[in-house]
Structure 1
């Protein structure tokens, strides 16, 4: 046993030894392994200790693992999920070497995340009471910032006579432009800022003016191969469909031809399909403004439509759903609803997907557009097995139809008002209900074997990459989306530290239906049982539109507001106010909401600022 004087002497001699910075002694690999157990906040604090600690804490290997844990999915530990921002990625491999820290090797960062290409009106009556008789795009380099709705530059002309439509027609491909990369820490920080803006309701608002009556439907795409700017298409009671440059807020085309209100639309790379209260469906080449074909069959106005590469479904005021087969040119009718059919959604139950539209698929309409249409072959398949259809109606119910058997297989009842809209999502069963609609999470096997966060063997980098998430490492693979295919470098089957990662391809995904009704509520439904899982309350008037992605749910209402919801607990995280009329339609992006209103305005709510 040492006395006090001996302990003092021992402390004096050991004082310098115990002050040694372990990271100056450890090999670099060991230091990174130790820091790999820290979360993002702790890494930022560690970077403030010294210059050496900062070089280690800012290493790409550490931040890539944190990005894999959060981007595109909900983190199991903190509950936060960050947007992928698909449209901002420029995929280009600059080096085949591993991912070193830029501060220790070269001022030119290698193998990192790609850098971005560029740093009170009176209310309208309800739909049955309203009248239906009322009646210089800029290049991508301009990149105008989002402005308030009062700014003159945010308002576009309703006339498209002076529009240079060659901007919409694909031209000869331009040579690829060299792009630079940036650290994964910057990638995480940018997406964290956007997610915080979502949670706090911080956004900038831009107003697009041009329609002379209420806007009833819209869709936008930021990943088209051409043109270079994001495209928004809207339909209105003024009988037109308008094409917009979503970056600048300018109108680039106005499609005229319908004789009554345009109530539904959907577009892809090749075509636009619109449904109108004039009882017709029109197929357009939206790049040139030419109407390719007009489909007739409903006895009343068309209120909704949805199509994939083989089938078009439309719902009507006549209480029927018509299914048009692109392969054969034939159509059949589904009967069962007793009132307006307000929304339809195709679903491939065998592959558990929501049937995206691919521009490369050949349809009957594409053949007609090129003048090479031929009679349907007798051996052509009718409807793919497992193809289903959801429909929502003013009779207060939703129905699930088997298109192969042409029968209703399930009915969803619970709303006490007209069901105006619905959205189909996919739940990853391995992560429970908290991952509704997420594209990728940890599999059951990996969750069972993964140590808790406070365990010395815990490695956040061993989590499975989310679908569509680019992890630049040593190999090269090809990802594909509904709009394009591209090659990106990834770490094939390995985590950041080289360990094998479990495959997510075997996970079963369960569909969940979201519906909005004029009873002021939003409901989440179990497809298998037909029972409501959850009801969201908050709007004080009817809900006209709902949309959802992997991280959140949004709704538009007759009370002129848009609400952003945390889907897991049914909590409203933000309420957006600005429209002067009912919010009749909306679309959700990773960093924005686009909404249309009965007041004739279109608003872009951007959370990227």
Structure 2
């Protein structure tokens, strides 16, 4: 059927060319003898005469002389072939008719090679053209789509836009067959990202307070992907899922034996990842819960002394605890039974402890014990990464390949407090950052963009460093006391201070977007593209009003600590979920509102 349609198109094309050359034959029949000069046509002032069909199809200029007549034998011959002329009657060759034949041959070749993409004067296969277009960005693909219809089809290929979506981080883990139009998905994701950034800058969103019943003072808070875990002085450990507002926070049951209610030790540390929740208590007990099973612990072990530090791997089931002069690493074996993977003895008390992500089969931990930093790897003896007598470590954070920690300088040769960056593979110092009079109280390397590092200092400043040239990109000042928690992404910074102030900064412009204030120091800050979680944890664990038997409940509300959950993506709010403003009881003095700026209407008097 396709061949018959192509032959019919060729026949009708030749007939149309023959019909258009008919008037030219009749005009040439009235010419004089051969060699006589022909008067040129008079061109009126309004315009030139119409071009012959051959020149019009070829795209050239119109000649003054009409083309010579073509015989029926020439019309009946295949395109591209010339009828041999006899020497007795030579006929001049006319470029106009030859141009029409070339255009017809080019059209027929384009129809036969319809699966090839014309790149000006080159013919490329479609797959090779897509391979070339994969090196272009979204702006270049938009310009190429305006060249021609063929290039528009090529620039809107699903493979190209699926690759762009994966590079930008939109819908990770999906396959190309999951969506029918990946260009539309890319445009919607870009529009959503722009809306989220506008909501972040203008402080438009919903805010919720993750509260607990009276008589419980907040001890420690941690979060992962919107799931929050909190420990209290009563020994209770509670979970919240901020991704759904109608989620009921469960209480994780401890494993302390047959103890009376209210006699449980207070919670020292809590940690959570995608599969596990861990809590360390004041008496040295460590409970491990599985988020997939239930409220009962799946593992429990005991230290003889109080636990100074607790670490949980970002992915997987590896736990590290430090108590006294020992560091213990627990993880399940191949059969799923929990066991002690490594046990280390250090010379000093551990202050900070982190597990290196993506360490492989054997877990690797980094511990800071006063002025010594240890690199602890299972099945290997402990190794000293850094040690300078009289210069204690004030903060610590690790990534998969590097470790960053703040060092306090003491003595008569005080060169200023610095941040050191070490390579975990070579155990060598890569760079030295800053020289501040105040102590570095927090550092964030794991969540920072590539080649960037954000720190908080007791001199009330937030600093961003470029690891490539050890230079300070910006220094932000708004806190009245020292900075206690900090995190950044590619365009914004969120910092928390000892005075309870949470500040959101525009990292590129270097200005403060907005702030929120609470009573207690900010000990935990976590955010992603659409949500923010902050925790104000009191330093005093037994204030007035902390007991349920006290009458002054207002004093207790002021001293128990609070967790805030901000949501900036309005389309994430399910319409069937119960809104926070509807969950508020009539006896609550604090309410909720969509606009965070109206949550505290009297912050500026």
TM-score (norm 1): 0.48
TM-score (norm 2): 0.48
Larger RCO (CA within 8 A; separation ≥ 6): 1
Give the structure with the higher percent helix: 2
Q: Which has the larger radius of gyration?
A: 2
